[in-house]
Amino acid sequence: SGINAEWPLRPGKKEGEPLDLHMVEIMSMEHKTEMDTKLIKGLVMDHGARHPDMPKKVTDAFILTCNVSLEYEKSEVNSGFFYKSADEREKLVKAERAFCDDKVQQIIDLKRELVGDSDKGFVVVNQKGVDPNSLDALAREGIVALRRAKRRNMERIVLACGGTAVNCFDELKPEQLGHAGLFYEHVLGDDKYSFIEECDNPQSVTILIKGPNKHTITQIKDAVRDGLRAVKNAIEDQMVVPGAGAFEIAIYQALQEYKNEVRGKQRLGVQAYADAMLIIPKCLAQNGGHDAQECLVKMLQEYKGVDKCVGLDLETGEAMYPAEAGIWDNYCVKKQLLNSATVISSNLLIVDEVMRAGMSSLKG
């Protein structure tokens, strides 16, 4: 699919700050094939504009991210309005309407100031609602408005496009707007998707996963998440270990040499630990459709003859050098694996000892 696994993690990486995988949005579309999965250096939202006359595509667009209600709101307490004539009622309606219209007019004034007669676009992404009258007024000015955006999208838009999220329009300034080179809407059946692309320096990106069915999309999602975590671990550890079972083969050989220095029944424990290390190479061979014992013998023989880590080539079933092939495992994963396996085994042995002690006391 051509996705560079490290690129989504680089933009948000600042000196001294940990990597944040939440800044990588993973979106899915049941459309085309899995080979069409791609990295969007911007944001993809799973909803679109709510007015038919709004532009479907704009270029060189200003992005206004806001959390301001542009619709009627019911009062938090019970209230009533009494009027004596139709004129008084009309005044009330106009006053309520003016409350929303003033906010919309501030957006329109800012758009006219920045865009003027040029071909630049203007996009409003609001976390709260926008009523039909406000949508109609914005559409007449060629402004694209998205309402009820998700909170996580609001945070990511600011990181991808720049600017700041505003909570009121009283002091609306051009510096608070973000910028995107391209904004367009894609309709797939009954679903709408909004794409914000060509951002100058995106600190948040989107991986758009496509596939012909849900099963394929789920598999790709799992693979992408695992890949992102693997890259994140490698960057944070600043080291990797050879993969393809080479790490376990090296430990097995080291334990075989260490066993010669041990006396008594402890030798049996060292041998059992060494044999347990071979489980992963055996599983790799079986998953590749090869004979596990034969593959183990080939790897152990190859390891004795060279001063390199030796792993298993799943395609041929022969021994290979994973470092030369670029096959690596995460250091922290192997470290946690060894620690957890040792602790769990020790706890199980303690349980056996307790049960044995309990049985002997009953016999007495």
Q: For position 283, what pLDDT does the model report?
A: 92
Q: Is 275 helix (H, G, I), strand (E, B) or coil?
A: helix
Of residues 216 and 359, which shows the higher confidence score? 216
Q: For position 362, what pLDDT does the model report?
A: 61
288-340 confidence digits (pLDDT tens): 889 888 998 888 888 887 778 888 988 888 888 898 888 899 999 999 988 99
CA 354 and chain centroid, separation: 46
Residue 335, H or E segment: helix 331-363
**Rg of the chain taking only CA atoms, in angstroms:** 31
pLDDT at 14 over 60: no
Q: Give the CA dihedral 82, 86, 89, 94, nearest 10 degrees.
A: -170
Looking at residues 242-268, what average pLDDT do you find? 88
* pTM value > 0.85: no
Integer Cα distance of 165 and 68 in angstroms: 10
CA 280 and chain centroid, separation: 29
Of residues 47 and 12, which shows the higher confidence score? 47
Q: For position 215, what pLDDT does the model report?
A: 92
Looking at residues 239-251, what average pLDDT do you find? 90
Considering the chain, what percentage of its residues have pLDDT values greater than 90? 13
Q: What's 175's DSSP letter? A: G
Q: For position 124, what pLDDT does the model report?
A: 92
Q: Is 182 helix (H, G, I), strand (E, B) or coil?
A: strand
Considering the chain, what percentage of its residues have pLDDT values greater than 70? 92
22-33 confidence digits (pLDDT tens): 788 888 888 888
- Listed in sequence order, the residues at least 6 apart from 356 whose beta carbon sits closer than 8 Å to its beta carbon are none
Q: For position 3, what pLDDT does the model report?
A: 52
180-237 confidence digits (pLDDT tens): 999 999 888 888 889 999 888 888 888 889 889 999 999 999 988 888 888 888 888 8
CB atoms near residue 324 (< 10 Å): 10
46-94 confidence digits (pLDDT tens): 888 888 889 999 999 999 999 888 887 766 677 777 778 888 778 877 7
